[in-house]
Amino acid sequence: MFDRLQKPFLTVETGEAYQPIRLTYTLLQPEKLSQTLEGLQCIEKNPTPNSWSWYWKAECDELHFESINSYQRIPNRPLRLATVTLRNGKVFINLTSFKRACMAVPFFYKVFDKEVLSIHVADFINKVFSLDERLPHGFAELFKDDELDRILQQRVEDYYKVKEKVELAPSAEEALNLLSQYTQVEAKKRLPYAERYLFDLREDDDPDVLFLAFYIYLRGRELVAIRRWFGQVGVVSESTEDTLAQVFGEMGIDILE
């Protein structure tokens, strides 16, 4: 443990923890995908068929990484933020940090009409890596759809069971007790190595609210992974509370009101 406390975890160029994450999109109008991507200056076609790279330039030049302020950008050598691939009728965006994923989701939402491309899920890793650790070779090695779907389905079922109990509670006090018990149980659970986040964007939903929820969820998971690296366990709920306080504090909102 002492060695781990002395050893930093792996980070990407802009300072965030290296945590592979894959965004999966449902492609509704394939004929418009290449046309839209190739019309962006921040997108470049890769030699591999049906593959593109997303760079930190042009349309996304103003993206801000507060993780590190000393990163020196070189105009003629922009940083690659992600790879975009088309496979089996789906579009995958592969990124190396949660921060980049939180930037990618709203960016590509604005680029593509929802009738062309619709975000479905985000698959990610609940850990950080040491500098000398063997890194996963490709995202296909990391994410197994059957296992991720099973974990997601169980989480959704648990949520709706508690939701039903809360709605049928005889009093507000009992409802709060049920929620408190649920939160305590969830906080003690061991997080899976890989996990899936489901986007459920309906017609009347505010996309900015959903993007904020995605950020809060991932930021909480990132804090858990980093704290566990330094030997802290059982910090799921504390990390979520810290994330909420940070996000809403920056907005000047008192979440206790």
Domain that holds residue 133: 2-250
CA nearest 189: which of 154, 150, 215? 154
N residues, the chain:
257
How far apart (Å, rounded) are the C-alpha atoms in residues 10 and 155?
Answer: 29
Q: Which has the minimum average pLDDT: 120-124, 190-194, 241-245?
A: 241-245
Does residue 256 sit within a domain? Answer: no
pLDDT number for residue 119: 92
Say which residue, 239 or 9, is predicted with more confidence: 9
Does residue 141 sit within a domain? Answer: yes
- Give the residue ranges of DSSP H helices in 7-144: 33-37, 98-111, 139-142
The CA distances from residue 36 to 25, 57, 73, in Å, are 15, 17, 26
pLDDT tens per residue, range 40-94: 999 999 999 999 999 999 999 888 887 666 677 888 899 999 999 999 999 999 9
- What is the token pair recorded at 42? 């921040």
Which one-letter DSSP state was computed for residue 144?
A: -
pLDDT number for residue 27: 93
pLDDT number for residue 143: 76
Q: Please, which pLDDT band fits residue 188 given cuts at 50, 70 and 90?
A: low
Amino acid at 225: A
How far apart (Å, rounded) are the C-alpha atoms in residues 108 and 92?
Answer: 12
Beta pairing partners, 21: 95, 124
The answer for residues whose C-beta is within 8 angstroms of residue 120's C-beta and 6 or more apart is 24, 25, 26, 90, 198, 199
pLDDT number for residue 120: 92
Question: Which residue in the block uniquely carries the two structure tokens 């004929």?
Answer: 31
Q: Please, which pLDDT band fits residue 247 given cuts at 50, 70 and 90?
A: very low
Confidence check: pLDDT of 1 > 50: no
pLDDT number for residue 68: 63
CA nearest 166: which of 152, 176, 158, 156? 176
- The stretch 106-134 carries a mean pLDDT of 89
Spatial contact of 163 and 143, defined as CB atoms under 8 Å apart: no
Does residue 174 sit within a domain? Answer: yes
- The stretch 180-189 carries a mean pLDDT of 69
Does residue 257 sit within a domain? Answer: no
Confidence check: pLDDT of 157 > 90: no
Spatial contact of 46 and 80, defined as CB atoms under 8 Å apart: no
**Structurally, how many domains does the chain consist of?**
1
Handedness of CA 130, 131, 133, 139 (dihedral sign): positive
Does residue 255 sit within a domain? Answer: no
Does residue 106 sit within a domain? Answer: yes
Q: What are phi and psi of 184, to 5 degrees?
A: -65, -40
The H or E element that residue 154 is part of is: helix 145-167
Mean pLDDT of the chain: 81
Q: Is the model's pTM score more than 0.95?
A: no
Does residue 163 sit within a domain? Answer: yes
How far apart (Å, rounded) are the C-alpha atoms in residues 2 and 121?
Answer: 37
Q: Please, which pLDDT band fits residue 139 given cuts at 50, 70 and 90?
A: low
Does residue 78 sit within a domain? Answer: yes
Which is it for strands 80-87 and 21-27: parallel, antiparallel or unpaired? unpaired
